[in-house]
Amino acid sequence: MSEATEVQATEADEPAAVPTLPETIDNMEDEDLANLVTAEEYLMRKDVQLLEYEKQMFLDTVHADGLLVAAKGLSYERVLLHILKVYSDAGNLLLVINSADWEEQYYKSKLDSKYVHEVANTATERERVYLEGGIQFISTRILVVDLLKQRIPIELITGIIVMRAHSIIESCQEAFALRLYRQRNKTGFIKAFSCSPEAFTIGYSHIERTMRNLFVKQLYIWPRFHATVRAALHPWQAQTIELHVPLSTRMSSIQSHILDIMNFLVREIKRINRTVDMEAVTVENCVTKKFHKILQAQLDCIWHQLNSQTKLIVADLKILRSLMISTMYHDAVSSYALIKRYRSTEYAISNSGWTLMDAAEQIFVLSKQRVYNGQNEFEPEPCPKWQALSELLTQDIPGDMSRRRGANHLEPPKVLILCQDSRACYQLKQYLTQGSARYLLQQALRHEVHVGKLSDEFAKQSQGPAMAESATEAAVKAEPMAAPAAPPPPAAAALDELSQLLSETDVEAQLQQQLFEESYMLTMTQAMPNDPDPNASIFEIIPELEQFDVSAALAAHRQPCICLQTFKTEREGSMALEHMLEQLQPHYVIMYNTNVTAIRQLEVFEARRRLPPDERMKIYFLIHARTVEEQSYLTSLRREKSAFELIIETKSKMVIPEYQDGKTDEAFVLYKSYDDEEPTNARTRQGAATGVALASARITPKIIVDMREFRSDLPCLIHRRGLEVVPVTITIGDYILTPEMCVERKSISDLIGSLNSGRLYNQCVQMQRYYAKPILLIEFDQNRPFHLQGKFMLSQQTTATNADIMQKLQLLTLHFPRLRLIWSPSPYATAQLFEELKLGKEEPDAQVAAALGSDEAGPAPGEQLQYNNAVHDFLLRLPGVHTRNVHGLLRKGGSLRQLLQLSQTELAELLQSQESGKLLWDILHVAHLPEKDEVAGSSALLAASKQFGSGSHNRFRKAAGEARRGRR
């Protein structure tokens, strides 16, 4: 039996019709096509296993196009997977855009491979693959170019699925692709999905603008407090035990002092900037995970207006947040090593002054006391959660298993420990396999913390029976960490000072990430003795787990299994936890750190299993109560709840036009119809006849765009204004507006890099050679100030590289008199400017534009192409020769030897100017030496004249005269 199904397209005049799904068999005949099932009947199939709220999500999205916003952890992925299965058929062409790599891999692994096609590399191959139908995960840039070049049969597209819909803005490539699709396909569907409700609260009317860009009219909201979700999850809740682990006295004091300093800096930044909206700058936001994003959105557009003290405070808030995280989650040695870096003279001079406060001194002292005892001996305190974790693994969980022995008494316990990042994962692996003393000593050596003399108690712990070094080094990994991102280029770093200050990880931290993995498997190697030895570790790595095949590891080892896993991984994203739960089927889950998404994924996993209460997994929460950790978790819950409440309120008041779906001719937002516009002079009596003639001959203006420019937002905004975008690979310029007008677009960072490398000079040479009106467009980001001067754009660096940008631009305009500079505040302004520049002008030719500058191209129109480019450029550098007379000189001058034989009068006639002729004759025939009065004011030349004597100039003139007589 083949289970390929497809949704039959409903007629435009029957929007309320329920989509139907045919159950096909091999060699289906035409009369069997009438055997259709509804979406409700499809959900009753045995192979469709969805929770009640997921079934409702499926019905909502199948029945009508719309945007679905779900809470984190509720996993709309299964709903989308079944929608993709429904349309898995060669008769459908379904496109999935804006998906992450891990999402694409997840769906491809679950779908029938014969219906999922890989994107081909060549245009011809892609055209063939499009006609084969099926499902394609395609990059938006490729899709936009194929839509513009009509390589894809737009009328035959069944529908488009949009992932991460909260990122769709009107200038992005996804909105461009949807606009091109909806212009020519009025029957296909558009379904969008998002699991980030907080993103829709940023900006004005974000949810309405997103729906308008997606061309959908329905909004489906699925928060965790939805009645259907609660009814589906509540009956199957797992047993949860919350363990409040108290902080050590020193850790609690450090936390209080850091919060005091943060509170002071927040009040200080608001006092300095009374006229600036600093609502987002609060102590609560400073300790949350997304603090840098919140602050960047708040201050980015006014960064250049802030004084230096404000910028230092922003940087220090980020540093204090990192110190708080290190104190709460890292070991004492690593935390001390980080805090010690900021107790230096260099940093004290460059910060906002917080290191001089009493609270800062207490932080430094307490951090040292966590590592050294009163006799200055090395005795670091262990993390408070370590002891609680050991008790759970060695006492509570084995005791609970013995009480719950029954049908599964032969099955060893399986424990899943969830951590927030790979560093915490590595820390727990090292602690469980080596013990706290050996791990802390190892950290001291890694961070170059002075060890000195060990305390007696610590030396006793660290000298116990050691685990084999090779076993601990053979860290078994589920997947390798991604390679650290390369540091930004100097130009980009100088431009984005705020992003640089607020970046979450520095280069050193990224390099350290190479040591950490995202998953480890451990097993217990011996029974727990009656009198436990704190020096001996009972945990070891499973060395056979090379490909992280959990089921194989469980089959090979009939011992208790402990898995360390991060909440999400680089390769599988948030689906990594769901995948691990399905493979491991743990009896116990220990939440070493708190995470809203992970908690809900555990709820959904338990609801799918539908086990009786005694067989459900037990979840332990290790949390520091009444601390920053608990506050951060509660803040994330509150933010999500308020975001959903805002979306629900917005939906209740939202006014959605009937034409918003783009399926009718009233969708004027799609394009600007030049055919229907009435000429401005047609309303007058004199221009009536002219207006009729112009209206009959009017065509849609077009702009030739280089293929590489589709990485930017500008082509999308040009098309939005009703201009036709023609994608062509061109070697000269980025945009061709008219046969004479060529535009080279530069962002600020690209401008600085091009000026420093000399690439912009060569580009201007090419533009001036082939086009009569070359234009250099300098475009700013719409989210940044339209401001080049000051510390924002050029940073605080005063190097020659950044200081002479304006001088280089002036030299550029002097070298190229015909070059025009255009300063644009945003891509929106650029699109409007292009439209105005094209008014009343001829349309460019794509074939001519592509041929210019290529080796195969013959002489294009223009006199300058008839001559050697090197000779042309050399003559332009001679005095008296400029762009107006260089062509006449090239035609009649003959050669450089003939030019030297012409008299001054003949040169003046050739250049059509007595002054120009004299300048050129002088440079060719007169030996140019400085006169006495020209050097009278120069101390350097006066010193030289004393050295060589008063007749030195005369000797030079005599030598020049003799040489001239000798030539005669």
Residues in the chain: 968
Per-residue pLDDT, 930: 59
- Segment 277-291 mean pLDDT: 79
Q: Of all helices (H) and strands (E), which one includes residue 619?
A: strand 618-623
Q: Nearest-5° angle of CA 48, CA 52, CA 58?
A: 60
Closest by Cα among 491, 506, 500, 488 to 315: 500
Chain segment 788-823, per-residue pLDDT in tens: 654 444 344 334 445 578 888 888 988 888 999 999
Q: Which amino acid is at 537?
A: S
Residue 78 has pLDDT above 90, yes or no: yes
Single out the residue of 381, 378, 388 nearest to residue 436, CA to CA: 381
- The one-letter code for the residue type at 479 is E
d(C-alpha 315, C-alpha 326), whole Å: 17
Longest Cα–Cα distance of the chain, Å, equals 119
Separation between Cα atoms, residue 955 and residue 173, nearest integer Å = 71
Q: What is the 3-state secondary structure (H, E, C) of 9-35?
A: CCCCCCCCCCCEEECCCCCCCHHHHHC
Please give the Cα distance from 308 to 571 (Å, whole number). 41
pLDDT at 472 over 70: no
- The candidate with the shortest Cα–Cα distance to 386, out of 587, 622, 563, 627, is 622
The 10 Å Cβ neighbour count of residue 239 is 13
Model confidence at 879, pLDDT cuts 50, 70, 90, reads confident
User: Do residues 726 and 707 touch, judged by C-beta distance below 8 A?
Assistant: no
Helix (H) or strand (E) holding 630: helix 628-653
714: left (phi over 0), alpha (psi -120 to 50) or beta: alpha
Contacts of residue 874, defined as CB under 8 A and 6 or more positions apart, other chains included, come to none
pLDDT exceeds 90 at position 491: no
Under 8 Å between Cβ of 543 and 474: yes
Contact 827/714 with Cβ under 8 angstroms? Answer: yes
d(CA 393, CA 226) in angstroms, rounded, equals: 36
Alpha helix locations (H) across 50-115?
52-63, 77-86, 101-110
Which whole-number Å values give the CA distances from 55 to 62, 229, 233, 599, in the listed order?
11, 11, 14, 21
Q: Burial level of 924, CB count in 10 A (0-12/13-18/19+)?
A: middle
Residue 25 has pLDDT above 60, yes or no: no
Give the residue from 172, 594, 559 showing the smallest Cα distance to 393. 559
- Please list, in sequence order, all residues whose beta carbon lies within 8 angstroms of the beta carbon of residue 129, skipping any fewer than 6 positions away: 117, 118, 119, 120, 136
Query: Is residue 23 a contact partner of residue 35, using CB atoms and an 8 Å limit?
Result: yes
Query: What is the average per-residue pLDDT within 549-561?
Result: 64
Q: How confident is the model at residue 464 (pLDDT cuts 50, 70, 90)?
A: low
φ, ψ of residue 416 in degrees (nearest 5): -115, 120
| pLDDT value for 822 | 93
Residue 496 has pLDDT above 70, yes or no: no
Q: What is the DSSP string of 490-548?
A: HHHHHH-HHHHHH-SS-HHHHHHGGG--SEEEEEE-SPPPSS--TT---EEE-TT-SS-
Q: Name the residue type at position 807.
A: Q
- Cβ within 8 Å of residue 534, ≥6 positions away: 435, 461, 464
Q: Which of 607, 779, 624, 617 is nearest to 171 (CA)?
A: 779
Burial tier of 537 (Cβ tally within 10 Å: 0-12, 13-18, 19+): buried
Backbone angles phi, psi at 564, to 5 degrees: -100, 130
pLDDT of residue 498: 56
Of 523, 329, 353, residue with least CA distance to 427? 329
**Taking residues 323-337, what's their average pLDDT?**
94
Strand partners, 622: 243
3-state secondary structure 717-786: HHHHCCCEEEEECCCCCCEEEECCEEEEEEEHHHHHHHHHHCHHHHHHHHHHHHCCEEEEEEECCCCCCC
51 vs 887 pLDDT, higher one = 51
| Mean pLDDT, the chain, whole residue set | 79
Contacts of residue 115, Cβ cutoff 8 Å, sequence gap at least 6: 4, 88, 89, 90, 133, 134, 135
Helix (H) or strand (E) holding 309: helix 308-329
pLDDT tens digits for range 893-933? 888 888 888 888 888 888 888 888 888 888 888 876 655 55
Is residue 884 predicted with pLDDT exceeding 60? yes
Residue 227: strand, helix, or coil: helix
Residues ≥6 apart with Cβ < 8 Å to 452: 376, 377, 378
DSSP one-letter code for 486: P
Q: Which residues, 6+ apart, have CB-to-CB distance to 4 below 8 Å?
A: 24, 88, 89, 112, 115
Q: Which of 272-286, 354-368, 856-870 has the highest mean pLDDT?
A: 354-368
The amino acid that residue 230 corresponds to is: R
Outline where 759-903 has alpha helix (H): 759-770, 791-794, 800-803, 805-815, 827-837, 846-851, 869-876, 886-892, 896-901
pLDDT tier, 552 (very low <50, low <70, confident <90, very high otherwise): low
Residue 405, helix vs strand vs coil: coil
Which residues contact residue 958 at a Cβ distance below 8 angstroms, ignoring those fewer than 6 apart?
A: none
Predicted TM-score (pTM) of this structure: 0.78
- Quick: pLDDT tens for 618-646: 999 999 988 999 999 999 999 999 999 99
942's enclosing H/E stretch is helix 939-948
Question: What is the rounded distance in angstroms from the CA atom of residue 440 to the CA atom of residue 453?
Answer: 14
| Residue 966 dihedral angles phi and psi, to the nearest 5° | -65, -35
- Tell me, what's the pLDDT at 889? 85
Structure tokens at 343: 């107790």
Buried b (16+ CB within 10 A) or exposed e, 887-915: bebbeebeeeeebeebebeebbebbebee
Q: For residue 693, give both structure tokens.
A: 């003639």
pLDDT of res. 618: 94
949 pLDDT exceeds 80?
no
The amino acid sitting at 359 is A
Question: The tokens of 259 are what?
Answer: 């919060």
CA angle (806, 809, 813) in 5-degree steps: 140
Q: How many whole angstroms separate alpha carbon 835 and alpha carbon 841?
A: 11
Q: How far apart are CA 736 and CA 667, in angstroms?
A: 29
The single residue listed with the structure tokens 């009017």 is 698
- Please name which of 84, 115, 120, 113 lies closest in space to residue 99, comparing C-alpha atoms: 84
- Burial (0-12, 13-18, 19+ Cβ within 10 Å), 348: middle
Distance CA 671, CA 835 (A): 13
If you average pLDDT over each of 362-371, 472-481, 493-502, which comes out highest? Answer: 362-371
Nearest one of 169, 291, 796 to 496, comparing CA atoms: 796
The better pLDDT of the pair 321, 493 is held by 321
Look-up: residue for tokens 């994330």?
Answer: 636
* Most confident range, picked from 452-461, 518-527, 768-777: 768-777
Q: What is the mean pLDDT of residues 21-27?
A: 40
* Angle at 593 (CA atoms; ends 587, 598), nearest 5 degrees: 60
Distance from C-alpha of 796 to C-alpha of 789, rounded to nearest angstrom: 11
DSSP 394: I
Q: 689-736: per-residue pLDDT in tens?
A: 444 444 434 578 999 999 999 989 999 999 988 899 999 999 999 999
